[in-house]
Chains A and B, each alone.
Chain A
Amino acid sequence: MPQATSRSDATRAVVFSPLEGAGRAELVEQRLTDAIVAGVLRDGERLPSESDLAKSLGVAVVTAREALVALRDKGLVLTRRGRDGGSFVTHDRDASMRMIDARVRALSRIELRDLSLHYAAIAGMAAEVAADRASDDDLASLVEVDARADLATPGGARRAVGRFQLEIAAVSQSPRLVHEELRLQAESGPLLWLCLREQAYRDRSRQARVEVIESIRGVDPARARRATTEHIASATEWLIDEKARLESPEQGRQPAPGAEDRKG
C-alpha cells in the first residue's frame, strides 16, 4: 500500500538519507542548505547531533562536522553549548532568498534544463506506470494527499508536490523509481519548485495533481505522463525566466555579462 500519510513528510525524511559521490562535506552542506532555504527544516529546529547526522547520511563524523561549520559560517545554523545545546536552524528569510538566488545564477540554463529533463523522465515514467497499476485504494490515497495540500504557502505547496510525486512513484510499484524520486527531490526539488513562491503556480500544481488523478482513474497512462511532464516543464520555464531576471542589470545584483532582459 502506498504510504504517504497525513503527517509523514518524505521530502524531509530524504534530507537525512545516505549520500553518494565525492566532495561529501560539500554535498552535506548543499543538501542541508537547500532544506533550510526551502523551509523543509524550520527556523529554530534542532538538527541531529554530529554523530547522528553522520550515521544517517552515511558519512564520517568529521565530514558532518565540517558541513555544520560551513552552515554556521553561512549563518544558517547556530550552535549552542550545554545540556540543551546542539545545532539549531536559523532561517533568515532574506538570507535564504539571497542564497537560493545565488544558486540559480550559478547553474547554467543547460544544467537547469538537464536537471528538469532528468526529473521529468523519472516522474513521467512513474506516472505512466502508476496509471496502469493503481488500485482503488491507491487512488483514494492520492486523492487524500491532494486534499491535504496546503496551497497558502510555498513550503506547503512544495511539500504537497513532493508527497504526491512520491506516492505516484510508490503506486508504480517500482523500488528504483521510488528511490530515484526521493534522490531527485533532495537534489533538484528546492530549485525546480521555486515557482511555487507564486500563488498562480501553486494553483497550477493543484490542477496538475487533479489531472494526474483523473488520468489514473481513467487508466490513461499517456495522459498521466503528459500532465506530469508538462507540469515540470512549466516549473522549469519559470526557473529559466527567474534566472534571466536575476541576471538582468536592472536587478542591480551582480549583473552577468550578456544577461538577458527580463522576460514574462
Chain B
Amino acid sequence: MTTTVANAADTIAHRIAATIDPLFALIDTWRDELEARLAEVAEPNAADLDPVIAALVRPALDDSSGLITGAGFVAAPGFLPDAPWHLAWWLSGTNTFRANADGGVRRLDAESDPDAEQFRDYTTLEWWRTPARTGTRHLTGPYVDYLCTDDYTVTITTGVMVDGEMAGVVGTDAYVARIEQELLPVLRESGHPCTLVNASGRIVASTDSRHATGALLRLDGLASVLAPLHEHEGQAAAAVLPGGQFVVPCGDTTLALVFETA
C-alpha cells in the first residue's frame, strides 16, 4: 500500500466516524444526565423517571432531519420497583412503525409483564448483552428489528451505572437506509472502491454494487482484523489483508472501512 492510499483511507474513516460520533455523543450525554439524576434519588420509580427520559430524548426525536428514529431508556430487570421490566422508548415521526395519523413522536408499546407470552427478555438481545458484558457503548446491526420498529435498523446503546451496577441502557435507533444515504457520498469521495462493515464484517454501505448492505464481506483475514472491534478489546489497528485491501477502524464506532487498493 502506498502512503497516499493509506492517507485517503484514513481521511474517509475519520469522516465516517464524524457522522456516527454525534449519535454516540448524544447517548453519552443522556447517560451522564441520567446517572446524575439517579444518584440523587433514593428510590427510583418508573412513574417519576419516564417524564425525565421523555424530556431527554424528545429534542432528538423532534429533529426530522436527523438520523434518529427511536430513543430511550431500558431498565435493568428489578431496578425500578414499580416496573420490574421497563422500556421507556419513544419513536420519532419519521419512524414508519404503526405510525399514527398525526405522524408525531409516540411511545413504543412494549410488553412488560414477564408472564405474558409476548414478553421478551431483552437482556438476551445484543443491544443489551454487549454493553452489559463489555461496559462500553455498542453499535448493534444492521439488523431487521422485527420485535420493535419493524425495519432495517442500527441500534446504539450504552450502560447507565448506579452504585457500580448497570441500572439500564440508554440508546437510539437509526434506519440503515438513512445512514447509507449519509455515508455513501463520503465513501465515493476517495475514488477507490470501498466498503463500510460492522464488527461482524456485515456490510453497512459500499461503493461496489456487488456488495449488498446486510451481506457479509468475505475476505481472507478480515475476521481476525475485526475481532478486537467485535470483542471491544481496545483499539483495533489499521491492517492490510492478504488480498491487498486496507482495513481502517472508524474511530471507536466499531465500524471499519475496507479500502481496495487496486
Contact = CB atoms under 8 A, between A and B. Distances in A.
Interface stretch (B12-20, B68-76, B145-153, B240-248): B145-153
A178 B141 CA distance: 16
B79 interface: no
B142 A173 contact: yes
Interface string A26-47: 0000000000000000000000
A232 interface: no
A45 to B, nearest CB: 8
B133 to A, nearest CB: 13
Interface in B198-246: 200-202, 213-216
Interface residues of B, number: 30
Interface in A147-197: 166, 169-170, 173-175, 178-179, 182
B149 to A, nearest CB: 10
B260 to A, nearest CB: 21
Contact of A175 (B120, B124, B150, B216): B150
A1 interface: yes
A225 B216 CA distance: 19
Given A9-B117, A132-B216, A170 B124 contact: no
Contact of B216 (A135, A166, A174, A179): A135
A93 B70 CA distance: 43
Given A3-B147, A175-B152, A8 B119 contact: yes
Interface in B89-121: 98, 114, 117-121
A133 B143 CA distance: 11
A133 B120 contact: no
A18 B96 CA distance: 13
A132 B202 CA distance: 11
A10 B202 CA distance: 25
A175 B201 contact: no
A251 interface: no
B215 A173 contact: yes
B166 interface: no
A5 B121 contact: yes
B125 interface: yes
B150 A1 contact: no
A13 interface: yes
Contacts of A136: 200
A135 B202 contact: yes
Contacts of B215: 132-133, 173
B144 interface: yes
A8 B116 CA distance: 9
A247 to B, nearest CB: 35
Interface in B142-196: 142-147, 150-152
A169 B121 CA distance: 20
B90 to A, nearest CB: 18
B33 interface: no
A166 B146 contact: yes
Most buried by A among B119, B141, B144, B201: B144
B119 A7 contact: yes
A175 B126 CA distance: 18
A84 interface: no
Contacts of B24: none
Contacts of A113: none
Nearest to B153: A175
Contact of A9 (B118, B143, B146, B151): B118
Interface of B: 98, 114, 117-122, 124-127, 140-147, 150-152, 200-202, 213-216
Given A8-B120, A10-B146, A13-B118, 6 more contacts: A3-B120, A3-B146, A5-B121, A5-B124, A12-B117, A175-B144
29 contacts: A1-B127, A1-B140, A1-B141, A2-B143, A2-B144, A3-B120, A5-B121, A7-B117, A7-B119, A8-B118, A8-B147, A10-B146, A10-B147, A13-B118, A13-B147, A133-B202, A133-B214, A133-B215, A134-B216, A166-B146, A169-B144, A170-B143, A170-B146, A173-B202, A173-B214, A174-B144, A175-B144, A175-B150, A182-B146
